[in-house]
Amino acid sequence: MGVNFKSVKRLLSDWYMIVVLFVIWGSFTAIAPAFSSVPNIVRVIVFSTPLLAVTLSQNIVILVKGFDLTVGSLVSLMTAILSVLMTWSVAGSIVVAFLVGGLVGLVNGIGVTKFNVNPFLMTLSMMFVVDGITLIIRPSPGGYISRTFASYMMLDLGGIAIGPIVAFIGLALFGALLLEKRHLGRLIYAIGDSEEKAFLRGIDVQRIKLKVYIMSGLFAAFGGLYVAAQALTGDPALGSPLLFASIAAVLFGGTSVTGGVGRFPNTCAAVLILGSITSFLFYQGWIVWYRYIINGALLITAAIVQRYTALGRR
């Protein structure tokens, strides 16, 4: 029985980032054997969980040819809100956090769909608004984050943080099912491929895009909950690194900046790669800020690859 090279090629194109992830893990382990230890793999997932939530936000927006520059600022705002309201009610503060996240997404969506504001400019403007509100609430790190809330979010069993692992798997499955198995996901891909064709097929393009921005705000809010649980403080700067990391993960994972192309499992693998890079730098004793240089290099590489891939399709 001969090898079906077309099937192999298709398989690799669908799951190539998973292969890249294992190659990188193998390379890091060869250099630093402790990298593959259970505590370190858990550390990678703990670091990657809030990033995956924010990346899911970014992913669905980019699929419809948009951008959401508020996701990192929303994470910071969530930590600020929680650090103030948890002295009143843990459950109430969580509800408020999700309401605010959804509201910011709604405002972004209305600006983009109803007033036809460019997504980059709309979300950039809202990013400044959200940053300002965050600084009013929490101008410097501090406040109170419930240890009980943090313990439930982290859910430590036998010295292993099970909570972030469950959350990471849940987000990965939810994102994959939403985008690849649900009707809404098919509509998102159709709009990203061609808004005009989607409209002619009877798809309510504006309504779906509005939903996408609202969901983006909600996923970013969820990421903010995990950042607050890990940091145990409110901080106006905590979410900033997640914005560009989320864009890097989405594009490095193969989602096209022109919309309509990309698989979420590859995006999840890209998130783990970024988390692994940070962990590896830590183990090597290098300044963790080097990850920004690496993330930038990966983003440039992804942009170049996407450019030539797009030219190849023409």
DSSP tag of 156: E
Q: Cβ distance 25 to 18 under 8 Å?
A: no
pLDDT greater than 70 at residue 2: no
Mean pLDDT, the chain, integer: 90
Q: Measure the CA–CA gap between 143 and 83, rounded to whole angstroms.
A: 5
Q: Cβ distance 74 to 219 under 8 Å?
A: no
Question: Tokens 């940070």 correspond to what residue?
Answer: 278
pLDDT of residue 281: 83
pLDDT of residue 233: 96
Q: For the whole model, what pTM was predicted?
A: 0.92
Going from N- to C-terminal start, the domains of the chain cover 50-309
Q: Measure the CA–CA gap between 314 and 312, rounded to whole angstroms.
A: 6
Over range 169-177, report the average pLDDT: 97
Give the model confidence (pLDDT) of 41-95 as tens digits.
999 999 999 999 999 999 999 999 999 999 999 999 999 999 999 999 999 999 9
Over range 19-24, report the average pLDDT: 90
Q: Cβ distance 248 to 87 under 8 Å?
A: no
pLDDT band at 265 (very low <50, low <70, confident <90, very high): very high
Q: Measure the CA–CA gap between 3 and 161, rounded to whole angstroms.
A: 43
AA letter at 48: S
Q: Supply φ then ψ for residue 143, to 5 degrees.
A: 90, -175
Give the model confidence (pLDDT) of 184-210 as tens digits.
999 999 999 999 999 999 999 999 999
Give the model confidence (pLDDT) of 103-152 as tens digits.
999 999 999 999 999 999 999 999 999 999 999 999 999 999 999 999 99
Question: Tokens 């409209």 correspond to what residue?
Answer: 199
pLDDT of residue 9: 56
pLDDT greater than 70 at residue 13: no
pLDDT greater than 80 at residue 254: yes
Strand partners, 160: 157
Closest CA to 251 of 280, 279, 274, 231: 274
Q: For residue 256, give both structure tokens.
A: 């096209």
Q: Measure the CA–CA gap between 226 and 229, rounded to whole angstroms.
A: 5
Over range 15-44, report the average pLDDT: 89
Would you tell me the crossing angle of helices 5-31 and 264-284 to the nearest 10 degrees? 20
Contacts of residue 258, Cβ cutoff 8 Å, sequence gap at least 6: 65, 192, 310
pLDDT of residue 70: 98
Q: Measure the CA–CA gap between 217 and 176, rounded to whole angstroms.
A: 18
AA letter at 20: V
pLDDT of residue 7: 59
pLDDT of residue 173: 97
More confident residue, 248 or 283: 248
